[in-house]
Amino acid sequence: MAGHSKWANIQHRKGRQDAARSKLFSKLSKEITVAAKMGDPDPDKNPRLRLAVKEAKSNSVPKDVIDRAIKKSQAGDGDDYEEIRYEGYGPNGVAVIVEAMTDNRNRTASTVRSTFSKNGGNLGETGSVGFMFERKGEVVYPATVGDADALFEAAIEAGAEDVESSEDGHIIWCADTDLNEVSGALEAALGESDTTKLVWKPTTTTELGLEDMQKLMKLVDALEDDDDVQRVTTNFEATDEVMAQL
């Protein structure tokens, strides 16, 4: 698990095996290439590319891999990727958002639909669960950067909307359109963040027991195994006891 809290905005990624690491690098590189192709290849002049590069660095993607991905965008012979969002339901009606980049919409739609069906879920129509989330900017700092009061003051000064602090660290929320400016101001005040990215933040959550959590993790794993899928977000909530048993 990438993380767990009562706000339950989970970006579930398998990280430690070499194969999973290679797949993650590939997905992050794809995002960099698409971002650079859609705008300027200079991260300082392209907010989306800057965020993509920052996320890649936070996941230990080597500099030469990042540079190659940017150069690929300028080659003129790269694949044209289309961004698609799928929405569906997992166990006990938990909401699932799947973000994909594909050069073959039919292939990806078929695979995503089949993955939901094989793992106890249902693929819905566009908008079927999106209303349960808000698009937000998320900046994460470690607990060592300062106490909750200091972080809140710095975040509000930077233009953020809210801060959630715990012993694990600080999550700073802002409007999606303000993420580039807010993260830049925070870096000037606090230094480099752990992660900076756009996320789907649940406005309502669904609590799951152990059995349903196991089913959900199986569904999320299967979806993320698809090379076309960039990230999966759910609105589950689970007790510490359930998470410990996982």
pLDDT digits 0-9 by tens, 15-34: 445 667 788 888 999 999 99
Asked if the model's pLDDT at residue 13 lies above 60, the reply is no
What does the H/E/C string look like for 32-74?
Answer: HHHHHHHCCCCHHHCHHHHHHHHHHHHCCCCHHHHHHHHHHHH
- If you average pLDDT over residues 226-240, what whole number do you get? 92
- pLDDT, mean over the chain: 87
What gap in Å lies between CA 58 and CA 51, rounded to an integer?
10
Beta bridge partners of 170: 141, 165
* pLDDT given at position 240: 84
Q: At 81, is the pLDDT very low, low, confident or very high (cuts 50, 70, 90)? A: confident
Q: At 98, is the pLDDT very low, low, confident or very high (cuts 50, 70, 90)? A: very high
Provide the 3-class DSSP secondary structure of residue 13: coil
Residue 236 near residue 211, CB atoms below 8 Å: no
In the block, residue with structure tokens 């292939």: 107
Domains of the chain: 10-74 (1.10.10.200), 83-131+206-239 (3.30.70.980), 133-202 (3.30.70.980)
**Percentage with pLDDT > 70 across the chain:** 91
In order of 51, 56, 70, 103, 177, the CA distances from 74 in angstroms are 19, 19, 7, 17, 26
